[in-house]
């Protein structure tokens, strides 16, 4: 009987505080939302050990690249904007297969699904503050409420009397979520109760120093590859030549296009 590997079915969230010492794992096929203040360690403590899907910071990729490739494991990076030259590339042509009109329509819908009207003008000032307030309220609603029993006492001519009533109150109010301290994050899993996790940065300690050294080495490789890569002008020339071979360039007899092509 083969040994069961927990990393084959999920990622480690951490160790519980109450009850103490229980290992917490999240299955790969379940979603988990993690909220915490900027710099609290969400990326370094939770996302880096788990499967990273989308990254906005190059250093987060370089910090884990060599560790993920250890033992000959394949690593490929989808980098359409050329932010990390020199790393193993995952190349996908979104046009391939679009001769099927249904497939083309599904891809076009997926590409435009994230567009927001007014995204360029929005996202600042009072509008951004309002969005933050709604976000905290939605998280509070997602966590749920608890039924609290309240008893009040009163005295009168007949003696003391009691009145008992129940009230639903939020487990975490929006302002409490906003005021989470550093090195703590709120974790809302799909199939478990919400919890507040204490975070420890993965770059702390001896193992963290090894990660930082690997990141610096990967950063040097990316810098060398960026220095050696073709210039924008050379890449443009090669793209135009490829377009000509594929008969995608403008015809010379098409008005206004010949001059435009000459400018390339």
The pLDDT value given to residue 90: 84
Six token digits for residue 193: 């109760």
Rounded average pLDDT per 10-residue block, the chain, 264 residues = 76 74 82 79 66 68 82 84 84 87 90 59 53 85 90 83 89 89 83 79 78 88 84 81 77 52 48
The pLDDT value given to residue 214: 87
The pLDDT value given to residue 155: 84
The pLDDT value given to residue 48: 63
What is the residue extent of each domain of the chain?
A: 6-113+181-229, 231-264
The pLDDT value given to residue 119: 42
The pLDDT value given to residue 25: 84
The pLDDT value given to residue 51: 53
């Amino acid at each position: 009987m083969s040994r069961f590997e927990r990393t084959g079915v999920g990622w480690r969230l951490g160790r519980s505080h109450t009850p103490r010492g229980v290992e917490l794992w999240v299955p790969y096929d379940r979603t988990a939302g993690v909220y915490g203040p900027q710099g609290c360690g969400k990326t370094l403590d939770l996302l880096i050990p788990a499967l990273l899907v989308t990254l906005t910071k190059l250093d987060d990729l370089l910090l884990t690249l060599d560790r993920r490739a250890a033992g000959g494991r394949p690593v490929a990076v989808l980098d359409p904007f050329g932010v990390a030259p020199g790393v193993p590339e995952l190349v996908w042509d979104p046009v391939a297969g679009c001769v099927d009109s249904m497939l083309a329509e599904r891809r076009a819908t997926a590409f435009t699904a994230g567009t927001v009207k007014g995204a360029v003008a929005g996202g600042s000032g009072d509008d951004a503050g309002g969005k933050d307030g709604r976000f905290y309220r939605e998280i509070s609603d997602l966590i749920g409420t608890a039924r609290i029993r309240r008893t009040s006492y009163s005295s009168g001519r007949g003696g003391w009397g009691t009145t008992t009533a129940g009230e639903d109150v939020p487990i975490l109010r929006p302002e409490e979520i906003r005021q989470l301290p550093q090195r703590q994050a709120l974790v809302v899993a799909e199939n478990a109760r919400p919890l507040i996790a204490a975070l420890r940065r993965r770059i702390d300690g001896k193992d963290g120093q090894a990660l930082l050294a690997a990141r610096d080495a990967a950063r040097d490789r990316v810098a060398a590859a960026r220095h050696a890569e073709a210039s924008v002008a050379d890449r443009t020339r090669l793209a135009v030549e490829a377009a000509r071979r594929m008969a995608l360039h403008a015809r010379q007899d098409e008005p206004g296009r010949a001059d435009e092509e000459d400018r390339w």
